[in-house]
Amino acid sequence: MSREVHLCSCNRTIAQDATSLSEAAKFAGANVAKTYDAMCQYELEKLSAHLGADNADVAIACTQESRLLGEVAGDSPKVSTIRFFNIREKAGWSSERNFATPKIAALIAEAMLPDPQPTTQVSYSSAGETLIIGRTRDALAMADVLKESVRVNVLLTDADAELPSQRDYPVVSGAKIAVEGWLGAFEASWQQANPIDLDACTRCNACVKACPENAIDFSYQIDLDKCKSHRACVAACGEVNAIDFARAGAAASRGAKFDVILNLSDQSFFTQHQTPQGYFSPGSDPIARMKALAEIATLKGEFEKPKFFNYKSNICAHSRNKKTGCTQCIDVCSTKAISPKGDHIEVTPQLCMGCGACTTVCPSGALTYVYPRVADFGARMKTMLRTFANAGGRDATVLFHDEGAGARAIAALARSGEGLPARALPMALHHASAAGIDVWLGAFAYGATGVQVLITDDIAPQYETALKAQADVANTILAALGYQDSRVTILVPPPGGEGADRRERVAAQLEGRYAHSPSPQPSPPGGGGSGLEWLSGSPRGLAVREPATFNLTNDKRGTLDAVFEHLLRHAPTPKPVIALSKGAPYGEIKVNADKCTMCLACVGSCPEGALADNPEKPQLRFIETKCVQCGLCEKTCPESAISLAPRLNLTADARKPRVLNEAEIVGCTRCGKPLGTKQIVETMIGKLSGHSMFMDPKALGRLRMCADCRVVDLYSEEKPLDIRNVKG
């Protein structure tokens, strides 16, 4: 299969000649089939004619016109696969575009990589059964629009308009409304707040005419402030039984299942930052309401989305024996998809939106991101950095951003004329939180001198906190190893502005990070001299002397072990033991030998196998590289003899078992049989010495005997021992 690239200068706005573009493609292991100035316009036929050899793997450097160009390429029998990638906003439209050849080579190389391995799918089934919640006027207007597309149900929160004379859909009223679930599986509950049950009401108007206070109008709800409890309406309703004053309130709890929820009320039925699929809460914004209506009309049938995570319960450090350890994934999840379940957690895949924050903060790797996998993403990053370096690029910095607002911010910066620096390699993630310390430090091991993570202000606030905490750990390690000015920076947009201003503010933040250097002789990116520096709060960092050749894997701790080893081997100032702050996922535990009774409860509580006993002798042993600092051992210890000490130990001893405590075995004072550890025996005697049963020194002394000898000693004191009556 041939690999060919089609490049376009976008009406000569990308200042790259055909020779440099061809060189860039060669570094990426591909051939430039043709270069264009306007392949989407007057050169469209030329593109069709030059779609290369049979069974070609084609990459086209244009995302703006991917629909049009895809139709042209799709009609060619010579094309096997086709993909589109962006060099215009990412490299060509930049004040450093004259030095962007290494970067373009990296982007081409990325485009030629195979697609990530598919993952399992999460299914949704929806018949379109929709519940609209809101005031009468709003809810009925939306229901009338939707009723031809989906099955509509209306739950009124207040009566502020007449009900229509024609019943086209069920209408009920209620208060204390609660909703839970997701697309195709919502459950709504409410209490009937008004004596008139709108679902049973025939709208015959008998109650309206009968009410002496005019407390009932054509909304068919009783104004309880006007009602004087004559109950004439009840009599008028008769056997229809739609009016029951005793039925309203807590006793009238009702509920039903729905596929879609459209909430027009002021009440929020979900407290999490990101609400479930199938739930719409557009507020009073007419445009948002129109978008919601359009999307709801399409939600009938079977739907699928990727299952973004994989969970290994056997190494989860959440809980053991009703003691809670790590809760980081639960705390960071913005969709409430993660909840405790016994000693482990439960992830509801229908609620998971794929942000990946849980996998980023998970210290053990029990939760891993699978769409794409870390191995797939690591291959992209490794390929781009290697191609960039081979093409003459220097001081590469990786910019992680999400596929939505982050990508739009980069495009907005490019349109402003500033653009990204030639050494900035943008890498798109499904979400900015989907990569963490294993990927970031992997970038440094592959030769990057900096890592930036662009987050937008529409993400959950806990994501920013979590990413900054992870960055602090990474930066502490890099600084301790002597990688001067190499750091992970979380780019946060400045405060202020709403709605449409967000994209511009994020772009402004990027532009502030890529400012002109005051240096009269700046270090040229990619071998040139542009006068721009990627400031990001620091000068250029130091790179490893030799980029790593290993691949990142889906085993988080295993990947980090390989990354740490490589960074240490090439460190300017090697420091094998690095102090870390509280909450870091690496460290040792300290045991107070004076308190520890060697009960070994901590061994049973450790989910990672970092703590172990010795079958040959009473010892508590510890393997530091396995410890995730979850704190379960500390909380389990009945003597409070354990404390955590965060640090990163890169010595060989950290992989070997070491003894934290060992105990002396004491024997029975009568027969010498091993009785237990000295600490346990002394602790037991100390606790029982004041008990009334052990005031006699002889009784207390029997605690130092084995069970058989206690019986023998007791019988010997009271009467001559008849050995035939002694059991055991």
Q: Which of 96-105, 276-285, 408-417 has the highest mean pLDDT?
A: 276-285
580 occurs within a structural domain = no
Question: What CATH number corresponds to the domain at position 645?
Answer: 3.30.70.3270
Residue 278: name the closest of 185, 171, 155, 154 by CA.
Answer: 185
582 occurs within a structural domain = no
453 occurs within a structural domain = yes
Q: How many domains does the chain have?
A: 6
DSSP 8-state symbol, 725: G
pLDDT tens, 635-651? 999 999 999 999 999 99
Which backbone phi and psi does 131 adopt, to 5 degrees? -110, 125
> Do 320 and 401 sit in the same domain of this protein?
no
Q: Is the entire prediction scored with pTM above 0.95?
A: no
CA dist., res. 326 & res. 303, Å (int): 34
pLDDT of 519 > 70? The answer is: no
> Do 502 and 527 sit in the same domain of this protein?
yes
Please answer whether residues 552 and 439 qualify as being in contact, where contact means their C-beta atoms are separated by less than 8 angstroms: yes
pLDDT of 532 > 90? The answer is: no
CA dist., res. 361 & res. 283, Å (int): 33
In the prediction, which pLDDT does 536 show? Answer: 32
Torsion angle of the four alpha carbons 532, 536, 538, 541, in this order, in degrees rounded to the nearest 10: -80
pLDDT tens, 359-368? 999 999 999 9
pLDDT of 537 > 60? The answer is: no
Average pLDDT over the chain, rounded to an integer: 87
Range of the domain at 417: 96-111+375-570
pLDDT of 542 > 90? The answer is: no
> Do 609 and 672 sit in the same domain of this protein?
no
The count of residues in the chain is: 728
CA dist., res. 662 & res. 677, Å (int): 9
In the prediction, which pLDDT does 518 show? Answer: 30
In the prediction, which pLDDT does 509 show? Answer: 57
Residue 463: name the closest of 441, 432, 493 by CA.
Answer: 432
In the prediction, which pLDDT does 514 show? Answer: 39
Please answer whether residues 410 and 426 qualify as being in contact, where contact means their C-beta atoms are separated by less than 8 angstroms: yes
pLDDT tens, 660-695? 999 888 889 889 888 877 878 888 888 888 788 888
pLDDT tens, 317-337? 999 999 999 999 999 999 999
DSSP E strands, 102-157 = 121-126, 130-134, 152-156
**Percentage of the residues of the chain whose pLDDT score is greater than 90:** 63
577 occurs within a structural domain = no
**Least confident span in 433-437, 530-534, 608-612:** 530-534
- 3-state class of 111 per DSSP? helix
In the prediction, which pLDDT does 534 show? Answer: 33
CA dist., res. 704 & res. 710, Å (int): 9
Please answer whether residues 317 and 363 qualify as being in contact, where contact means their C-beta atoms are separated by less than 8 angstroms: yes
Instruction: Among 614, 643, 662, identify where a domain stops.
Output: 662
116 occurs within a structural domain = no
| pLDDT, greater one: 421 or 723 | 421
Task: Read off the pLDDT band of 169 (50, 70, 90).
Answer: very high
Mean pLDDT of 626-632: 97
pLDDT of 652 > 80? The answer is: yes
Tokens of 100: 């962007």
> Do 466 and 591 sit in the same domain of this protein?
no
Ramachandran class of 86: left when φ > 0, alpha when ψ lies in -120 to 50, beta otherwise:
beta
> Do 185 and 264 sit in the same domain of this protein?
yes
pLDDT of 539 > 60? The answer is: no
pLDDT of 56 > 80? The answer is: no
Question: What CATH number corresponds to the domain at position 254?
Answer: 3.50.50
CA dist., res. 125 & res. 185, Å (int): 8
In the prediction, which pLDDT does 16 show? Answer: 66
- The dihedral through the CA atoms of 681, 683, 686, 687 has a sign that is negative
> Do 296 and 202 sit in the same domain of this protein?
yes
> Do 382 and 503 sit in the same domain of this protein?
yes
281 occurs within a structural domain = yes
> Do 449 and 462 sit in the same domain of this protein?
yes
> Do 166 and 244 sit in the same domain of this protein?
yes
Cβ–Cβ contacts within 10 Å for residue 106, how many? 31
Q: Does residue 615 have a cis bond before it (omega within 30 degrees)?
A: no
16 occurs within a structural domain = yes
pLDDT tens, 480-507? 999 998 999 998 866 554 444 555 555 5
Residue 296: name the closest of 151, 87, 155, 511 by CA.
Answer: 151
In the prediction, which pLDDT does 99 show? Answer: 86
